[in-house]
Copies of this chain bind each other. A is one copy, B any other.
Amino acid sequence: MTYERDIIRRMAGYAPGEQPADTGVIKLNTNENPWPPSPHVVDALAAVGAESLRRYPSPSAAAFLGEAAALHGVSAEQLVATNGGDELLRLAITTFVPPGRPIAIAEPSYSLYPVLAAIHDSPVHRITLDDDWSLPGGFAEELNDANVPLTLLVNPHAPSGRLLDAATIATFASALKGVLLVDEAYVDFADPGHDVVSLIANHDNLMILRTLSKGYSLAGLRLGYGIGPADLIRPIAAKTRDSYSVDAVADRLGAAALADQETARASWIAVRRERQRLTETLRDRGFEVPDSEANFCLARVPADAPASAATLHAGLKADGILVRHFDTPRLRDHLRISVGTPEQNDALLESLRVQLNR
């Protein structure tokens, strides 16, 4: 006898990237920041006392929200802290989408989106991206015609790294009848000057997802947040979120991380520099690599290469280097490579050179 709901039995779960226990592996497969978190975060960890562990944490993660409000120039009512950005994605679905109504996503994008939709029993309305990974014209009208209550848009785009500018996001928010959630998981690595947060003042349907997993080197901590108009944030913060979903350690360490912008910015600058080098080197060797404003590159293996993407992926792994390969029709001949330290990127490029003999 099975007790699972039919929709759960029929669906497949999310397949996370490999997380090896061996710390000697060069891990360029799940888009961690290759640089360590702020030393102030490590200090804050040492200062967490037994009493903070014994008691329940602040229900809202007040220390963290205070820092986030100061950083973004918004009020605490325009913010909600979550157990990683992934929790905010689920909560947006729970809060804004009646089961059965469609959720719109670009195809391809973050592979968790369709899993969350399946759990919610909502069909996925896929917007097929153009060859250059841009959104096709007229997609907003198409979504409005389909009465879509929530659109999930990762920007910079995963897995291509392509960035839509703020003016384009504003146009989409104005055009869409439902909620537009812009997943800015990778936005810290975009070239300076990009700003979508200021748009929430004029768009009552716009919510922004941020995470400390990438830009602040804290993937192990599970801390994300949402920024949006207070009316969009309130039902999530006060109703649909699990009680105490952010723990006392994340509350303090997250605050310490946001307060040290200098360390984080230095890592973003280093990632941009290496991203540029990786992109140019791979292009020189015949890979097709779109301009990325994230901390990864999507590299299309040359059609005349002596090894497929899957073979290169396995060869890299044999050399102790993990990258991501998605076995889907559109991505099968690509590798998604997180930008590592110069030494890690050198090792990656050398392994590819030996495998491809160029």
Contact = CB atoms under 8 A, between A and B. Distances in A.
Interface string A218-231: 11111000000001
Contact of A54 (B11, B119, B149, B218): B218
Given A2-B231, A3-B96, A9-B235, A245 B222 contact: yes
Interface stretch (A86-94, A124-132, A187-195): A86-94
12 contacts: A13-B238, A13-B240, A19-B58, A19-B59, A33-B54, A37-B50, A52-B220, A54-B218, A57-B220, A219-B244, A221-B247, A249-B249
A242 interface: yes
Interface in A1-37: 1-9, 11-14, 16-17, 19, 21, 23, 27, 30, 32-33, 35-37
Contacts of A62: 21
Contact of A36 (B48, B54, B99, B245): B54
A55 B86 contact: no
A235 B4 contact: yes
Size band of the interface chain A makes with B: 35 or more
A179 interface: yes
B83 A83 contact: yes
A13 B58 CA distance: 16
Contacts of A11: 239
Interface of A: 1-9, 11-14, 16-17, 19, 21, 23, 27, 30, 32-33, 35-37, 41-42, 45-46, 48-59, 62, 83-84, 86-87, 90, 94-99, 112, 115, 119, 121, 149, 178-179, 204-205, 213, 217-222, 231-232, 235, 238-240, 242-250, 253
Nearest to A30: B56
The 5 closest A-B pairs by CB, nearest first: A220-B248, A13-B239, A222-B247, A36-B50, A13-B238
Contact of A94 (B49, B53, B97, B119): B119
